[in-house]
């Protein structure tokens, strides 16, 4: 069976696509009364590592459910779901660090409405692992007793209870996505984005299966420069001073990236908000309006600040993923595995480290990298976490 067109963006996930295709066609039969489809799963949980396409899968499934052709990719339903203007599809994507209970209650309220089309009222929650406890409880109530036309599509890194509460998880049908193979990622970069095959192949490997990251590496010189800085770190960790300096540089690079991204987003948002609030006005009630406006601007600034923190944290996490790939390469060289390295262009450096340390040292290092990523997620100050990491990764004197 050929997969519906909407799943084209979903790279290397044929198993998940099959499950979703079957579910959508059963759902359509149920609505048309044309076949044996009798029940619909109202809550789905899409899990997979970053870049595997969790939210892409959820959106494609939403398209397939709303499309009268099962996900053609071109009809008005498919199109409006894709661009985010479909009246019966609601996307919750936190800009800050978490999804609040207020936000969730509102979305649950809307989700209970009759769909305006003939099909479903769909709620996509892009980062279900960022629900506050209150929001998670509000959601649980909705998925325990869903209205007959409502479908919840949740996305999270794993089914672990740190990401999704056990009770929410138990109500969902899980769709697992894997890390797509480098060849499949390269294929997309070449065919979808028109990227030169040689660069695409390199970027796909370097991004370790993360499609968005692969595209950035292939197209953005700043992203390549940052990666270069990160991968120069391991061999520089030879003295205490060197370790602390490397930690500082990694944090500074993340701060820079966050600043760059924030600056490009913040000012236009603020401008748009003041315009929509109609800055100025002297008539009756202008005082009250001005006070309300100040409140809204303050709220926007608060959200922009949490977003900046998030961007900085994501940027550091990416650096740690790159380093993890590097030390995994070191291990591969030590055991003499004949496979492509994640950072093939840093093979020499990896070989140099491989000569200096034992396999046990590398395994400890990989554990430490995982622990550091976790502690950053738990709000440990980046400078503290990174300094602890780099000093632990100090190389023995040669
Ligand atoms: Zn369609």
Same domain membership, residue 315 and residue 350? yes
Same domain membership, residue 156 and residue 88? yes
Neighbours of 136 (CB within 10 A): 18
- Interatomic CA distance for residues 71 and 65, integer angstroms: 7
- Inter-CA distances, 329 with 84, 183, 199, Å: 40, 18, 20
Look at residues 261, 259, 230 and name the one whose alpha carbon lies nearest to residue 247. Answer: 230
Mark the residues whose beta carbon lies below 5 A from ion ligand 1: 67, 69, 72, 75, 78
Look at residues 322, 55, 127 and name the one whose alpha carbon lies nearest to residue 209. Answer: 322
Same domain membership, residue 187 and residue 58? no
Look at residues 103, 154, 145 and name the one whose alpha carbon lies nearest to residue 125. Answer: 154
In the prediction, which pLDDT does 111 show? 87
Same domain membership, residue 384 and residue 334? yes
| CATH at 162 | 3.40.50.300
Within a domain: residue 296?
no
DSSP result, 313-343: HHHHHHHHHHHHHHHHHHHHHHHT--S--TT
- Interatomic CA distance for residues 67 and 283, integer angstroms: 49
In the prediction, which pLDDT does 313 show? 85
In the prediction, which pLDDT does 36 show? 61
Q: Determine what percent of the chain falls in helix, strand and coil, rounding each to the nearest 5.
A: 65, 5, 30
Within a domain: residue 297?
no
In the prediction, which pLDDT does 289 show? 61
- Interatomic CA distance for residues 69 and 396, integer angstroms: 63
24 CA from centroid of ligand 1 (Å): 12
Within a domain: residue 373?
yes
66 CA from centroid of ligand 1 (Å): 7
**CB contact at 8 A, 60 and 24:** no
In the prediction, which pLDDT does 285 show? 56
Phi, psi for 65 (deg, rounded to 5): -70, -35
Same domain membership, residue 36 and residue 158? yes
69 CA from centroid of ligand 1 (Å): 5
Same domain membership, residue 215 and residue 87? no
Query: Burial level of 199, CB count in 10 A (0-12/13-18/19+)?
Result: middle
204 CA from centroid of ligand 1 (Å): 30
- Interatomic CA distance for residues 133 and 116, integer angstroms: 31
The secondary structure element, H or E, covering residue 216 is helix 211-219
332 CA from centroid of ligand 1 (Å): 46
Within a domain: residue 225?
no
Within a domain: residue 340?
yes
Same domain membership, residue 253 and residue 152? no
Structurally, how many domains does the chain consist of?
A: 3
- Interatomic CA distance for residues 198 and 131, integer angstroms: 41
Within a domain: residue 339?
yes
Same domain membership, residue 99 and residue 149? yes
54 CA from centroid of ligand 1 (Å): 20
Which residues are CB-neighbours of 169 under 8 A, at least 6 positions away?
45, 159, 161
Within a domain: residue 142?
yes
117 CA from centroid of ligand 1 (Å): 14
- Interatomic CA distance for residues 88 and 31, integer angstroms: 16
Taking every pair of Cα atoms in the chain, the longest distance, rounded to a whole number of angstroms, is 79
**What is the reported pTM?**
0.70
Count of alpha carbons within 13 angstroms of residue 261, beta-carbon side: 21
Chain centroid, CA 221 distance in Å: 22
- Interatomic CA distance for residues 18 and 195, integer angstroms: 29
In the prediction, which pLDDT does 22 show? 92
Same domain membership, residue 195 and residue 248? no
Give the position of tokens 């008539």. Answer: 283
- Interatomic CA distance for residues 134 and 95, integer angstroms: 18
Within a domain: residue 227?
no
65 CA from centroid of ligand 1 (Å): 9
213 CA from centroid of ligand 1 (Å): 28
The secondary structure element, H or E, covering residue 137 is helix 133-144
80 CA from centroid of ligand 1 (Å): 10
**CB contact at 8 A, 167 and 138:** no
Same domain membership, residue 89 and residue 169? yes
Domain assignment of residue 202, given as a range? 182-219
3-class DSSP assignment, residue 36? coil
5 CA from centroid of ligand 1 (Å): 9
Same domain membership, residue 21 and residue 166? yes
Query: Burial level of 307, CB count in 10 A (0-12/13-18/19+)?
Result: buried
109 CA from centroid of ligand 1 (Å): 27
150 CA from centroid of ligand 1 (Å): 19
In the prediction, which pLDDT does 281 show? 47
pLDDT in tens, the chain (398 residues): 578 999 988 888 989 999 999 999 888 888 877 766 567 899 999 998 877 889 999 999 999 999 999 999 999 999 999 988 999 999 987 766 678 888 889 888 988 888 988 899 999 999 898 888 888 999 998 999 888 899 999 999 888 888 899 999 999 999 999 888 889 899 989 988 999 999 999 999 998 888 888 998 999 998 899 899 999 999 999 999 999 999 999 999 888 888 887 887 788 877 777 777 765 544 555 566 666 777 778 878 887 887 788 788 888 988 999 999 999 999 999 999 888 898 999 999 999 999 999 999 999 999 999 999 989 888 899 999 999 999 999 998 87
- Inter-CA distances, 63 with 25, 128, 148, Å: 12, 20, 19
Q: Which of 157, 176, 195 is the last residue of a domain?
A: 176
Same domain membership, residue 29 and residue 170? yes
Give the position of tokens 């940052």. Answer: 226
- Which pLDDT tens digit goes with each residue over 257-311? 888 878 877 888 777 777 777 655 445 555 666 667 777 788 788 878 877 887 8
Identify any residues that bridge with 131 across adjacent strands, giving them in sequence order. Answer: 99
Look at residues 118, 33, 16 and name the one whose alpha carbon lies nearest to residue 77. Answer: 118
3-class DSSP assignment, residue 281? coil
């Amino acid at each position: 069976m050929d997969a519906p067109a909407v799943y084209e963006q979903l790279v290397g996930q044929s198993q998940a696509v099959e499950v979703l295709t079957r579910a959508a066609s059963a759902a359509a039969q149920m609505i048309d009364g044309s076949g044996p489809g009798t029940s619909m799963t109202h809550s789905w949980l899409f899990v997979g590592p970053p870049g595997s396409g969790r939210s892409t899968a959820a959106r494609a499934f939403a398209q397939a459910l709303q499309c009268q052709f099962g996900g053609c990719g071109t009809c008005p339903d498919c199109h409006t779901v894709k661009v985010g203007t479909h009246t019966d599809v609601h996307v919750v994507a936190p800009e800050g660090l978490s999804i609040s209970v207020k936000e969730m209650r509102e979305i649950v309220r809307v989700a209970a409405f009759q769909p305006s089309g003939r099909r479903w009222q769909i709620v996509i929650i892009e980062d279900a692992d960022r629900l506050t406890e209150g929001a998670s409880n509000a959601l649980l109530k909705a998925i325990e007793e869903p209205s007959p036309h409502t479908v919840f599509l949740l996305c999270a890194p794993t089914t672990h209870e740190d990401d999704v509460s056990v009770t929410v998880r138990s109500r969902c049908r899980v769709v697992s996505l894997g890390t797509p193979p480098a060849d499949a990622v390269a294929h997309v970069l070449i065919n979808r984005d028109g990227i030169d095959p040689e660069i695409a192949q390199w970027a796909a490997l370097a991004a370790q299966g993360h499609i968005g990251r692969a595209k950035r590496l292939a197209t953005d010189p700043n992203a390549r420069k940052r990666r270069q800085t990160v991968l120069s770190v391991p061999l520089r960790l030879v003295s205490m001073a060197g370790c602390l300096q490397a930690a500082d540089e990694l944090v500074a690079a993340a701060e820079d990236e966050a600043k760059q991204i924030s600056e490009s987003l913040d000012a236009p948002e603020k401008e748009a908000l003041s315009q929509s609030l109609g800055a100025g006005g002297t008539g009756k009630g202008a005082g009250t309006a001005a006070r309300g406006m100040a409140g809204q601007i303050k709220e926007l600034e608060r959200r922009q600040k949490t977003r900046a923190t998030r961007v900085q944290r994501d940027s550091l996490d990416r650096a740690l993923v790159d380093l993890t790939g590097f030390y995994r390469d070191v291990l591969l060289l030590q055991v003499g595995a004949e496979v492509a390295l994640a950072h093939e262009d840093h093979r020499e450096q990896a070989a140099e480290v491989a000569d200096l340390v034992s396999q046990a040292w590398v395994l400890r290092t990989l554990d430490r990298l995982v622990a550091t990523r976790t502690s950053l997620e738990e709000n440990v100050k980046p400078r503290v976490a990174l300094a602890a990491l780099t000093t632990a990764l100090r190389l023995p004197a040669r």
